[in-house]
A = this chain, B = another copy of it.
Amino acid sequence: MMPTKVSIFEVGARDGLQNEQPVSTTAKMQLIAELADAGLTRIEAGSFVSPKWVPQMADSAQILQQIPRVKGVTYSALTPNLKGFELALNAGADEVAIFGAASQSFSQKNINCSIEESIERFIPLMEKAKQHNIAVRGYVSCVLGCPYEGKIEVAEVARVSEILYKMGCYEISLGDTIGIGTPTDARRMVQAVSEVVPISQLALHFHDTYGQALANILACLDLGISTFDASVAGLGGCPYAKGASGNLATEDLVYMLHGMGIETNIDLSKLAKAGHNISAVLGRPSGSKVANALK
């Protein structure tokens, strides 16, 4: 059965901008404010990964400290370890996110350790988060394929998702990191994961590198999934597919959902404007087809 409303987790200011040329703190804060004004209530606002690796996110603490908070909006941050968590906590993040890969090769190449080691390192973070009553979201990457291994077994995605869920993540966001999946595989994967994590606690984070993200979401909608990650203006590229787009544009997702009579509480016109504004800062057109068509 199709959901009557869905929750959108906006990742443009983090997953998007961390893969773009650096923009000013002011521009980011304006983006975040405009996203909240457009009705988004879950906004990933920064990352506490070392600025050595991700210089685009070096001002995340400043942003979380200074951004005027809108009531009912959750401002979250990606935290790679306990130190990152403490910085996020001090900066006032409402919730944080940790991550694990569904591919051993990706984990090794990306963070130089096995999936198991990478998750184990999050245990002290999870304990501290519990003490401070901070909700933790869990990202699982490579759920529909890996740039090194190719196909990923759904059982492995389910295994990693279950570990993160049992560790205390309130929601598991399943990421098609390289955007390679197609509808049948997406559906099969979600079905497998939903056997070990309640489907109400799953989110889909599908990249649009191969133009499949909306179709993949559609294929999973009637399974009971009702949370989707997306990035305004399609912000964020994919390091493995130069020239190709990365994140799914929030505008395109909202347009489809509204067209299907599914509520998001998002003002599409304001959202598209927010996307055009940040795209202008980046000096390029919006990556959202809907935003460009509406312009």
List chain A positions with a Cβ less than 8 A from chain B.
179, 181-185, 208-212, 214-215, 217-219, 241, 243-245, 249, 252, 255-256, 258-261, 285, 288-290, 292-293, 295
Contact = CB atoms under 8 A, between A and B. Distances in A.
A182 B289 contact: no
A295 B182 CA distance: 19
Given A184-B261, A215-B215, A259-B183, A289 B252 contact: no
A260 B144 CA distance: 13
Report copies per complex.
2
Contacts of A288: 211
B183 A243 contact: no
B211 A259 contact: no
20 contacts: A179-B293, A182-B255, A182-B256, A182-B258, A183-B218, A183-B256, A184-B259, A209-B293, A210-B252, A210-B289, A210-B290, A210-B293, A211-B252, A211-B255, A211-B288, A212-B256, A215-B217, A241-B292, A241-B293, A243-B295
Nearest to A178: B293
A290 B211 contact: yes
Nearest to A182: B259
A218 B245 CA distance: 21
Interface centre among A208, A212, A217 (most CB of B within 10 A): A212
A121 B211 CA distance: 40
B256 A209 contact: no
A210 B244 CA distance: 18
Nearest to A249: B211
B259 A289 contact: no
Contacts of A290: 210-211
A183 B34 CA distance: 29
Contacts of A252: 210-212
Contacts of A183: 218, 256, 259-260
Nearest to A217: B215
Nearest to A255: B210
Given A183-B218, A210-B290, 13 more contacts: A184-B259, A184-B261, A210-B255, A211-B255, A212-B255, A212-B256, A214-B215, A215-B256, A241-B292, A241-B293, A244-B289, A244-B292, A245-B289
